[in-house]
């Protein structure tokens, strides 16, 4: 099967959950003998022709906050219509206006959506309207819509009376973690720091986490891993309001990030809007205790294997952090549950099986079996 992947910045992952998901999905499908082509943005300094048997195609983009994704995705679609693909996997519902073009040229298209995009604060009025319209393009023209959360699937069912295909993100089980030296580089001690990982955008709730951490009585630092290359002002604001003890090492990927997950005392996900958070799953796969904002999508992910606080409640977040910092035994009890939940619901092998089955079915290469 020949698969085209569009709508992301590229691989190897260097920004956000979609890229991480696309990288693992693409490389695992390639291992299974499929020919996978990922469209990458041309600004990358390193531009190998392949990444772990995945073919990479580089195209330019207009690098600005509002035009980067749409310009690159449009060029990618124009390139893809003249290539032989059995199926195209399009990421980001905001790219759905391209689906009619792809379908016009005979392409089969599945689209992955990342939560309910129009609710994101970064878009403003026009951006939210565009995302609403984009949802409808996906409904009308895509062969299938992929959601990474059952709660997001409920939204599409209730709002549009349409069924989606649930394929969550996956996670690897990490015991011990690699030794890359990053703990020493950042001045950290194993199991003696708190961890946040994510993009620096308002709905990730980093500002609230910093406020809560400033109220917690602890000598453990808070490591805030992430970046936002399109909003440096927001990045600097977070650093200005950060209390003593907060460390900002920038964006980290690969084994260095795995080492940080595996050695953290707590992982906190204060997101106000999510599907299934890849960072949360990685932390759970590493066997750390997780604390999440109690939105439905995050409660779905953790089940009884984590701690949640009242939705967007700064005081409750502060209380939960203090309680876990003061009670290592309580922290350890939750930490022991996380990997079991990942093994049951979020194994990468199972996730890739679902992707492969859906893509084959969409391409007409496999007769659907009864679900």
What ranges do the domains of the chain cover? 2-169+348-363, 182-345
* Calpha distance 114→99 (Å, rounded): 17
| pTM reported for the whole predicted model | 0.87
Tokens of 195: 């961890």
CA-derived radius of gyration, the chain:
20
Tokens of 362: 């969409």
For residue 213, CA distances in Å to 140, 247, 329 come to 45, 12, 20
* Calpha distance 179→280 (Å, rounded): 21
Tokens of 123: 């878009």
Note the pLDDT of residue 328: 97
> How many C-beta atoms surround the C-beta of residue 81 within 10 A?
17
Name the phi and psi angles at 166, rounded to 5.
-90, 115
The third-level CATH classification (topology) of the domain covering 2-169+348-363 is Rossmann fold (3.40.50)
Note the pLDDT of residue 371: 44
Percentage of the chain beyond pLDDT 70 is: 93
pLDDT in tens, 68-125: 788 999 999 999 999 999 999 999 888 999 999 999 999 999 999 876 664 666 666 6
Note the pLDDT of residue 14: 62
pLDDT band at residue 16 using 50, 70 and 90 as cut-offs: low
Note the pLDDT of residue 128: 72
Percentage of the chain beyond pLDDT 90 is: 71
Token pair 């939204």 is at which residue? 155
Tell me 148's DSSP state. Answer: S
> How many C-beta atoms surround the C-beta of residue 45 within 10 A?
4
Secondary structure (DSSP) of 264-296? -SEEEE--SS-SS-HHHHHHHHTT-EEEEE--H
> How many C-beta atoms surround the C-beta of residue 73 within 10 A?
25
Supply the CATH classification number for the domain 182-345.
3.40.50.2000
When the pLDDT of each residue in the chain is averaged and rounded to a whole number, the result is: 91
- Domains 2-169+348-363 and 182-345 agree in fold: yes
Strand ranges in the chain using DSSP code E only, listed in sequence order: 2-6, 35-41, 50-51, 54-59, 87-91, 109-113, 144-147, 165-166, 194-197, 222-225, 246-250, 266-269, 289-293, 307-309
């Amino acid at each position: 099967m020949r698969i085209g992947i569009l709508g992301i910045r590229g691989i190897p992952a260097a920004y956000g959950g979609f890229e991480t998901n696309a990288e693992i999905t693409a490389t695992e499908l390639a291992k299974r003998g499929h020919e996978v082509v990922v469209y990458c943005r041309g600004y990358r300094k390193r531009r190998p022709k392949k990444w772990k048997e995945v073919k990479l195609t580089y195209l330019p983009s207009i690098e600005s906050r509002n035009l980067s994704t749409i310009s690159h995705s449009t060029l990618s679609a124009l390139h893809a219509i003249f290539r032989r693909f059995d199926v195209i996997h399009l990421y980001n519902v905001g790219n759905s206006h391209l689906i009619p073009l792809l379908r016009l040229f005979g392409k089969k298209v599945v689209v992955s959506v990342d939560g309910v995009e129009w609710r994101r604060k970064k878009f403003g009025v026009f951006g939210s309207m565009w995302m609403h319209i984009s949802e409808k393009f996906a409904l009308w023209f895509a062969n299938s819509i992929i959601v990474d959360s059952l709660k997001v699937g409920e939204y599409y069912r209730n709002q549009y009376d349409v069924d989606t295909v649930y394929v969550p993100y996956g996670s690897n089980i990490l015991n011990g973690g690699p030794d890359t030296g990053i703990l020493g580089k950042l001045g950290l001690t194993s199991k003696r720091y708190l961890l946040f990982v994510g993009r620096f955008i308002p709905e990730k709730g980093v500002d609230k986490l910093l406020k809560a951490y400033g109220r917690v009585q602890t000598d453990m630092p808070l490591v805030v891993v992430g970046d936002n290359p399109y909003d440096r002002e927001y990045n600097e604001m977070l650093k200005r309001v950060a209390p003593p003890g907060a460390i900002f090492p920038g964006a980290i990927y690969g084994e260095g990030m795995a080492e940080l997950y595996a050695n953290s005392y707590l992982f906190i996900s204060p997101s106000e809007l999510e599907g299934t958070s890849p960072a949360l799953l990685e932390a759970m796969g590493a066997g750390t205790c997780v604390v999440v904002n109690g939105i439905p999508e995050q409660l779905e992910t953790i089940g009884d294997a984590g701690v949640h606080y009242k939705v967007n409640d700064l005081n409750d977040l502060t209380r939960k952090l203090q309680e876990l910092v003061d009670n290592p035994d309580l922290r350890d009890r939750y930490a022991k549950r996380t990997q079991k939940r990942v093994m049951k619901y979020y194994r990468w092998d199972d996730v890739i099986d679902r992707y492969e089955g859906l893509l084959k079915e969409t391409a007409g290469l496999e007769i659907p079996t009864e679900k």
